Amino acid sequence: MDEFMQAALEQAKKSLKEGGIPIGSVLVKNGRILAEGHNKRVQEKNPILHGEMDCLNNAGRVGSYKDTIIYSTLMPCYMCAGTIVQFKIPKVIVGESQTFSGAREFMESHGVEVVDINSRECIEMMRDFIAKNPELWNEDIGEL
Contact at 8 Å (CB) between 73 and 101? Answer: no
Cα–Cα distance measured from residue 28 to residue 68, given in angstroms and rounded to the nearest whole number = 5
Which of 6, 60, 1, 66 has its CA nearest to residue 35? 60
Cα–Cα distance measured from residue 4 to residue 139, given in angstroms and rounded to the nearest whole number = 28
Cα–Cα distance measured from residue 70 to residue 90, given in angstroms and rounded to the nearest whole number = 9
- Quote the DSSP letter at residue 123: H
Task: Give me the phi and psi of 61, to 5 degrees please.
Answer: -80, 115
Catalytic residue chosen out of the listed positions 52, 96, 105, 113: 52
Active site residue 18: no
Q: Known catalytic residues? A: 52
